[in-house]
């Protein structure tokens, strides 16, 4: 039996890197029965048939698993948000951060298309997220800005590049490595959003790390418990030490450390308001599930 890591999944085939070469494999039917499917990033045991085909026999334990995009064993995520086209949305960014931090994946915020100058408050926004403790990298694939900073974060890590369709994820990777030639697309001007150019997930070896370009999305679903959401943001979690009640959702509970921090200006009011919206969404979902 050989061991390796799935670096690509496409049309029912899995491509496994064993450190020397990449072998094309299929999954055994038994995985489907157990309702678990191999995903990119999985460590697997496989049988090499030596005819260019093999079979995945066992999926190793995952230390985390992202549903969208489907990738396992991820260290960090570049959350790519364009300054324009599509327009930067802190509401969506906060949703994303909630999801990524819930999975214990380190988020790195990338503000792409910085060359599209306009009358926004992008610097203030960036400042606010940096104050909250997030690393923010400004890039322009068009003008080759911020690329060295991106290369530096790839080293020794598995990084997923994610974000809405059309924000420039594939363009960023192409700018980092001119030989990559990933397909990119012209954004639909009428809709102000992209048309899903990237269609599969693949781990690429880049700058001493593994990097996954992923298909963009147009909407993002939250699926955690309300109590998990209350603990997801690293900065909220810090102040929740001062909450009187265990399992405080930082909503209507008295003596809440997070609300206190918002009042004192230590947590941005806007982020807290976004959090409350997502918390309501999750509570409603839970009610539906349990009646």
Ligand X SMILES: Nc1nc2c(ncn2[C@@H]2O[C@H](COP(=O)(O)OP(=O)(O)OP(=O)(O)O)[C@@H](O)[C@H]2O)c(=O)[nH]1
Per-residue binder mask for ligand X (CB under 6 A), 91-120, x = binder: ---------------------xx-xx----
By CB under 6 A, which span of 2-10, 31-39, 140-148, 260-268 interacts with ligand X? 140-148
Pick out residues in 190-249 that bind ligand X (CB under 6 A): 194, 196-198, 215-216
- Gap between the Cα atoms of 240 and 39, Å rounded: 35
Q: Of the two residues 162 and 197, which places its CB atom closer to Mg ion in the complex?
A: 197
Choose the one of Zn ion, ligand X, Mg ion, none that binds residue 167, judging by a C-beta under 5 to 8 angstroms depending on kind. Answer: ligand X
If DSSP codes are grouped into helix, strand and coil, which group holds residue 212? strand
Q: Minimum distance from CB of 184 to Mg ion (Å)? A: 6
Q: Of the two residues 201 and 232, which places its CB atom closer to Mg ion in the complex?
A: 201
Beta strands (DSSP E) in 49-197 are: 54-59, 65-66, 71-72, 76-82, 106-112, 135-138, 158-162
Instruction: Report the candidate in 44, 35, 36, 34 with the shortest Cα–Cα distance to residue 14.
Output: 44
Question: CB atoms < 10 A from the CB of 218, how many?
Answer: 12
Residue of 9, 72, 111, 243 that binds Zn ion (CB under 5 A): 243
240, 257 in Cβ contact below 8 A? yes
Q: Of the two residues 1 and 118, which places its CB atom closer to ligand X in the complex?
A: 118
Question: CB atoms < 10 A from the CB of 135, how many?
Answer: 15
Q: Of the two residues 54 and 216, which places its CB atom closer to ligand X in the complex?
A: 216
Number of residues lying near Mg ion (CB under 5 A): 4
Q: Is 185 in the site for ligand X (CB under 6 A)?
A: yes
Pick out residues in 146-205 that bind Mg ion (CB under 5 A): 169-170, 197-198
CA angle 159, 113, 189 (to 5 degrees): 115
For residue 122, give Cα distances in angstroms to 125, 128, 254, 264.
5, 10, 35, 23
Q: Of the two residues 130 and 181, which places its CB atom closer to ligand X in the complex?
A: 181
Q: Is 112 in the site for Mg ion (CB under 5 A)?
A: no
By CB under 6 A, which span of 21-29, 51-59, 129-137, 160-168 interacts with ligand X? 160-168
Q: Of the two residues 193 and 250, which places its CB atom closer to ligand X in the complex?
A: 193
Q: Which residues contact 69 (CB under 8 A, 6 or more apart)?
A: 160, 162, 201, 212, 214, 215
Instruction: Report the candidate in 10, 74, 13 with the shortest Cα–Cα distance to residue 46.
Output: 13
Q: Which residues contact 130 (CB under 8 A, 6 or more apart)?
A: 136
Alpha helices in 75-160 (DSSP H): 90-102, 122-131, 147-154
Residues found near Zn ion in the complex (CB under 5 A): 243, 248, 250, 256, 258
Residues that bind Mg ion (CB under 5 A): 169-170, 197-198
Q: Which residues bind ligand X (CB under 6 A)?
A: 112-113, 115-116, 140-142, 163, 165-171, 184-187, 194, 196-198, 215-216
């Amino acid at each position: 039996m050989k061991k390796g890591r799935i670096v690509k999944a496409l049309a029912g085939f899995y491509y496994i890197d064993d450190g020397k070469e990449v072998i094309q494999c299929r999954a055994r039917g038994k995985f489907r029965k157990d309702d678990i499917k191999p995903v990119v990033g999985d460590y697997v045991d496989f049988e090499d048939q030596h005819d260019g085909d093999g079979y995945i026999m066992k999926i190793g334990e995952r230390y985390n698993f992202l549903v969208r995009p489907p990738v396992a064993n991820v260290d960090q995520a570049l959350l790519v948000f364009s300054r324009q086209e599509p327009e930067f949305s802190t509401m969506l960014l906060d949703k994303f951060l909630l999801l990524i931090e819930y999975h214990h994946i380190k988020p790195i915020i990338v503000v792409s298309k910085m060359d599209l100058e306009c009358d926004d408050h992008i610097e203030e926004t960036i400042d606010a997220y940096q104050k909250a403790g997030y690393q923010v990298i400004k890039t322009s694939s068009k003008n080759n800005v911020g690329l060295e900073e991106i290369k530096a974060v790839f080293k020794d890590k598995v990084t997923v590049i994610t974000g809405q369709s059309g924000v420039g994820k594939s363009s960023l990777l192409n700018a980092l490595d001119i030989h990559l030639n990933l397909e990119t697309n012209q954004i639909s001007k009428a809709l102000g959003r992209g048309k899903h150019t990237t269609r599969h997930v693949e781990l690429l070896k880049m700058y001493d790390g593994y990097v996954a370009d992923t298909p963009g999305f147009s909407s993002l679903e939250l699926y955690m418990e309300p109590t998990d959401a209350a603990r997801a943001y690293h900065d909220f979690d810090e102040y929740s030490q001062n909450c009187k009640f265990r399992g405080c959702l930082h909503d209507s509970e008295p003596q809440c450390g997070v609300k206190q921090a918002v009042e004192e200006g230590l947590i941005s009011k806007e982020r807290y308001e976004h959090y409350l919206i997502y918390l309501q969404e999750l509570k409603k979902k839970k009610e539906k599930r349990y009646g």
